[in-house]
């Protein structure tokens, strides 16, 4: 989020998980009632702002001295709300701040986020149904993936990769599709805007899919929430602790295949293509 750094003692950055949840349940819209202002542009530039419900400093709007002693409470999810610039200014400006009580903003936040929480809950139910339909084809030798490996190396990594393949089955096809795009771009990282264009989804949807990949320990968003545009890179994580270059090896191997692609391995769950 592009917000200015200050020297205020109580104002601390939210935890990464808090800011990501705020974004996920924002629906990419200002929380102010009937405001349709997007928080992120089509090009991936972050134009939204993070507002405190209870202020962090004595001169802040809705400052509560007792509450402000708890610095973690100040930066917790339930004390933060995502707004467009105009409405952030309105709820905090000295001329208009008294029109918005703590209770008012809590109700605004709850009403806005609940709309998207319901959608996420429904999507999670659909995700469960979809992800339990896919069949996994295991690898057996990894002969083509790395011809120079010894028999012992293959015996060590084949069960690890097959275990990962079974775990990948639990990830939704949409998230697997995003993962395939990220892997295909190796060794170069990809940003959210480019990923959105490549999989024909909105930036908000890409972030939601990346959060799913993060929960599966496969990728994460590298974001400095208080400097520059939001977000920047999607960072890939190796599923194999003993083989950090696993995705690079998959990308290199599949790039040489005339009749198959990374998608067939990650989305189609056909790990026999690595044999």
- What dihedral do alpha carbons 10, 87, 47, 41 form, nearest 10°? 150
- What dihedral do alpha carbons 78, 209, 120, 24 form, nearest 10°? 20
Strands 190-191 and 233-236: antiparallel
The CB-side HSE value for 126 (13 A sphere, CA atoms) comes to: 8
Please tell me the distance from the alpha carbon of residue 27 to that of residue 172, in angstroms, as a whole number.
20
The CATH-assigned architecture of domain 134-274 is Orthogonal Bundle (1.10)
Cα 256 off chain centre by: 31
Q: Domain coordinates of the chain in residue numbers? A: 16-121, 134-274
Please tell me the distance from the alpha carbon of residue 2 to that of residue 107, in angstroms, as a whole number.
25
What helix, strand, coil percent values describe the chain, rounded to 5? 50, 10, 45
- pTM of the entire predicted model: 0.53
The answer to whether residue 81 scores a pLDDT higher than 70 is yes
Tell me the per-residue pLDDT of 223-270, one tens digit each, with 9 for 90 and over. 654 444 555 788 899 999 899 999 999 999 998 888 888 989 998 899
Tell me the per-residue pLDDT of 187-228, one tens digit each, with 9 for 90 and over. 878 888 888 888 877 888 888 899 899 989 999 887 654 444
pLDDT band at 7 (very low <50, low <70, confident <90, very high): very low
């Amino acid at each position: 989020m592009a917000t200015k750094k200050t020297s205020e003692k109580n104002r601390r950055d939210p935890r990464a998980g808090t800011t990501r949840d705020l974004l996920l349940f924002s629906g990419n819209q200002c929380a102010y009632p009937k405001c349709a202002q997007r928080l992120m542009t089509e090009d991936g530039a972050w134009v939204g702002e993070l507002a405190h419900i209870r202020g962090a400093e004595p001169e802040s709007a809705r400052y509560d001295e007792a509450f402000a002693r708890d610095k973690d409470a100040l930066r917790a999810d339930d004390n933060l709300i995502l707004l467009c610039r105009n409405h952030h200014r309105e709820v905090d400006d000295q001329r208009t701040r008294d029109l918005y009580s703590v209770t008012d903003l809590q109700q605004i936040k709850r009403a806005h986020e609940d709309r998207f929480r319901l959608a996420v809950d429904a999507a999670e139910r659909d995700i469960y149904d979809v992800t339990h339909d896919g069949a996994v084809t295991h690898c057996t030798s990894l002969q083509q993936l790395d011809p120079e490996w010894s028999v012992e190396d293959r015996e060590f990594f084949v069960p690890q990769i097959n275990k990962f393949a079974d775990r990948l089955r639990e990830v939704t096809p949409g998230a697997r599709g995003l993962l395939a795009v990220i892997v295909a771009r190796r060794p170069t990282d990809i940003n959210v805007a480019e990923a959105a264009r490549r999989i024909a989804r909105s930036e908000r949807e890409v972030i939601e899919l990346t959060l799913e990949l993060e929960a599966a320990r496969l990728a994460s968003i590298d974001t400095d929430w208080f400097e520059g545009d939001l977000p920047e890179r999607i960072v890939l994580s190796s599923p194999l602790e003993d083989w950090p270059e696993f995705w690079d090896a998959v990308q290199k191997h599949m790039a040489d295949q005339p009749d198959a692609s990374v998608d067939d391995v990650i989305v189609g769950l056909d790990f026999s293509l690595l044999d």
